[in-house]
Structure 1
Amino acid sequence: MAGISWQYVFKFIITGDAAVGKSSLLIRLTDQRFIANPDPTLGVEFGSKLITIPEESKVVKLQCWDTAGTESFRSITRSYYRGAAGCLLVYDVTSRKSFLNTRTWLADVRQHADPHLTCILVGNKVDLCQDESETQAEFNAEPISSVPPRSEFSNSKSKRQVSIEEAELFAKEEGLLFVESSAKSGLNVERAFEQAARDILEKIHRGAFDDDQSPGVKLSKPATGNNLVLDTARSRSVCCNT
């Protein structure tokens, strides 16, 4: 990332039940790859990504904290919610339980994150229940050239348990952005982060975020040796010793 400058740094958290694909979304964002069976997240994992918002002529650095989805790590992960400006609230479209539990996760995030938090509801794993082309058309997404042929996906189909309409209604009621995605193909993964980043920029323009008081939104500082650690695409943080 040497020589690349950015105007803002946004703190993002990725939350939701275990096994909904949070780590896979982060790996897809930062490394542009998919791991079929990632290790369970122990505490929190970190990744960073530069994204460009053309209409704003801005480059934004996302600092993303992927949090564990099990109750045993809840007290640890809550500490990473503090000051977050953006949140991906993730559920599995083939798991109704994971969708119902988003209400609890959302309440937890809103209690600890920045009061002006931008949250996007992400229905992940659409590749398990329908063709990627169908989802892409529904959300008017940009074509993804890296989507593998259908034959490379699993032949087994899972039944969708959460409809688009139900998720959209929940998002509207709670004031959330919404998109469905596939970490496996990459469908709408970057789009989810970009939508949230655009919303944060709009809030900055309206004065909702104070650069000196909002830990989740920071203006870029001149590059120093201390910034190099943030340029690591992905690093594991195990946050407990028990």
Structure 2
Amino acid sequence: MFNKVLFAVAFLGIVSAKPFDETASPADVNEYRVAHAKQFLLTLREACVNRSGSEEGYQQFLSAVPPAVRCLKSRIDWPQMMMDMKLMTQDNRKKVFETYCPKLVDSKVCFDDTIQALSTCLARDTKASREILGEMFSGAVTLFCKNDGEFIYETRKPEFRSCITGVKKHIKECKSTKIASTTPWTEYGREECSELVKARDCLKGKVNSCDSRTVMDIVDIYYNPIFKANNCLTMPALATDDQGAIIESLNEV
């Protein structure tokens, strides 16, 4: 349950919103978004109650969303951005991303209250939890804007779409045991870090078979901030196939 919430936060709507699916009708896209929003809220409420013993963080989140949306709309013309990216070509992609990416970075302030609410749900140390969620947001924006929208072109490839379809099943197959799932993510020790490293390596093995590195980049939006906050990859005997590369990427955050 906890992992589902965190992956929902990590994706930040980048792939679930389907803004670039040219075959989908507006009604289909809207129905998809509403269904996923409802599922996210149900999952979040259950996680808040299970981990904090109350709905306080959940109610805070519900109250924080409308102001966050208004703030975002005041900073970014979202329909225009979606249209510009849908019509984007290799010739103008640099201009498009130079226009919108600084605005996306600046929009992080819009989500301060929602991040605080999620922190109340998910950890006793809300300051450390806020930092993790903030890095997840930053990681998502960085991936989205990297190389002037390379991510967008990757998501249009058939191998990406087929790979994304199987991610939910792979997460279940590779999930860590109850130890890492019930321990606050700001308080991981050797045992919990080991669980998380193994889960990440397992998921990488599943995802690599579908030949889309972009999917693993999305997954690491979730894992990397938690590894960093708990110094997981610097613990002796906690190795991962990509340990060197991950540590290097964390140093860039």
Higher Cα Rg, which structure? 2
TM-score (norm 2): 0.29
Q: Greater helix percent: which structure?
A: 2
Which structure is higher in RCO with an 8 Å CA cutoff and minimum separation 6? 1
